[in-house]
Amino acid sequence: RYSLYDVSKKGLTTTRKEKVLSYFTNNIYGLTASKYSRGRDNITVVKAMLKAGVKIIQYREKKYTRKIMLKEAREIRKLTREYNALFIVNDYIDLAIMSEADGIHLGQDDWPVQDTRSIVGENMIIGVSTHAPAQAEEAIRNGADYLGIGPVFSTNTKEDVCDAVGTEYVKYAAENAEIPWVAIGGIKEHNMYHVCKNGARCIAMVTELTMADDIEKKAQSVLRTLEELAKNS
Ligand code: 3NM
């Protein structure tokens, strides 16, 4: 398991690796999705998540202009600093750099990890979405700092994502991944049990939080549930 991962083994900066190690245990990873936020803007959504105690925030925005994305990302950077939370930007390397994010998250069709590293430097965390063991192994080989493992259950939130990979892939990650990882895709409070039972300790959620009547309350409840599940498995 990744808790045994030797940070000095690959000669990578310990600050980056240690940051990931500490944040990806017993945490909820909250993502923005303006399309699925019931009219609430991304900043309002992020504030509610942070107030509840969510410690990893990903800015994931598809349809806004770059100007608006930069404004929002900078605002979220400010907020995540106040709450001592990790800030990750999805897809846009330039946006991650300009907003001084802690990390950049890449999909399978984005720029390769090594090329991204050459642009973002040694301090920025690089996460990669993976949907099968071979992709996980490749991402680790290429120097990813953490993996997305999913979609565990079926989801309509991400267009063009593959079919659900199930908890088998979560189990694979728990047993094999040498770096931290986050389970993602269709995860709700009511099915978290199956994900945690298979070894997940960091859970990513979009619509379970962004679509909630009261985002802060829902996030608090999810964090409590995660704590209970982690204790008992
Ligand atoms: N990435 P929800 S699934 C952003 O499997 C994203 O890589 C996925 O949304 C992956 O929590 C996904 O609403 C969407 O199902 C997750």
ipTM here: 0.99
For the segment 93-117, the average pLDDT, to the nearest whole number, is 97
CB of 195 shorter than 6 A to ligand 1: no
What separation in Å is there between the alpha carbon of 193 and the centre of ligand 1? 17
Residue 171 has pLDDT above 70, yes or no: yes
d(CA 177, CA 181): 8
d(CA 92, CA 124): 13
d(CA 188, CA 145): 25
d(CA 179, CA 5): 7
What mean pLDDT is reported for the chain? 94
User: Contact 26/226 with Cβ under 8 angstroms?
Assistant: yes
pLDDT value, residue 204: 98
pTM: predicted TM-score of the whole model, two decimal places: 0.94
4 pLDDT tier (thresholds 50, 70, 90):
very low
Best residue for ligand 1 mutational test, from 35, 61, 157 (most atoms within 8 Å of Cβ): 157
Best residue for ligand 1 mutational test, from 206, 211, 222 (most atoms within 8 Å of Cβ): 206
pLDDT value, residue 224: 97
Name the active-site residue from 16, 47, 129, 201. Answer: 129
Nearest one of 111, 73, 74 to 91, comparing CA atoms: 111
Best residue for ligand 1 mutational test, from 147, 158, 182, 202 (most atoms within 8 Å of Cβ): 158
CB of 32 shorter than 6 A to ligand 1: no
State what percent of residues in the chain have pLDDT above 90. Answer: 88
14 pLDDT tier (thresholds 50, 70, 90):
low
Per-residue CA distances from 93 to 18, 90, 101, 145, 161 (Å):
22, 8, 10, 15, 21
Question: Is 77 a residue of the active site?
Answer: no
pLDDT digits (tens, 9 = 90+) for 205-218: 999 999 999 999 99
Nearest one of 159, 191, 215, 232 to 41, comparing CA atoms: 215
Residue 36 has pLDDT above 60, yes or no: yes
CB of 180 shorter than 6 A to ligand 1: no
CB of 105 shorter than 6 A to ligand 1: no
Question: Is 129 a residue of the active site?
Answer: yes
Q: Which atom of ligand 1 is nearest to the CA of 210?
A: 13
The more confidently predicted of residues 2 and 31 is: 31
CB of 148 shorter than 6 A to ligand 1: yes
Residue 122 has pLDDT above 60, yes or no: yes
For the segment 49-74, the average pLDDT, to the nearest whole number, is 97
